[in-house]
Amino acid sequence: DTGVSQDPRHKITKRGQNVTFRCDPISEHNRLYWYRQTLGQGPEFLTYFQNEAQLEKSRLLSDRFSAERPKGSFSTLEIQRTEQGDSAMYLCASSFRGSKAGELFFGEGSRLTVL
């Protein structure tokens, strides 16, 4: 296993367009997280999954954001009607649950630029 992979690594889009990011976690991991990171800030929690179940979604997240993890494997994060404020690095991470919770393995991120 080569770790957590994210695609695309960079995405430039025009305001109002929809974008989708994909994350492939480490195969043995049952938890998958999405975070957003802007310059000079720490990762901001967006949502996370236990297998295919979405356990929590940030209250700060607008309805334009949706995430799925069909069959508990890869995950997608979709942003509809993008706004300039959505420009950020979108990070995916995976982990085991239980005693290993908190030991996240991060991908290299998908950078979104909204023009």
Partner 1 sequence: GNSVTQMEGPVTLSEEAFLTINCTYTATGYPSLFWYVQYPGEGLQLLLKATKADDKGSNKGFEATYRKETTSFHLEKGSVQVSDSAVYFCALVGSMNRDDKIIFGKGTRLHILP
Q: How far is the CB of 61 from partner 1 (least distance, A)?
A: 12
Among 60, 78, 108, 113, binds partner 1 (CB under 8 A): 108
Identify which range of 22-30, 64-72, 73-81, 106-114 contacts partner 1 by CB under 8 A.
106-114
Q: Are 33 and 45 within 8 A, CB to CB? A: yes
The one-character DSSP state at 70 is: G
Core vs surface per residue 36-67: b (16+ CB within 10 A) or e: beeeeeebeebbbbeeeeeeeeeeebeeebeb
Nearer of residues 60 and 115 to partner 1, judged by Cβ? 60
Residue 41 in contact with partner 1, rule: CB under 8 A: yes
Count the neighbouring beta carbons within 10 Å of the beta carbon of residue 30.
Answer: 16
Interface with partner 1 by CB under 8 A: which residues? 4, 33, 35, 40-45, 48, 50, 55-56, 91, 93, 97-99, 101-109
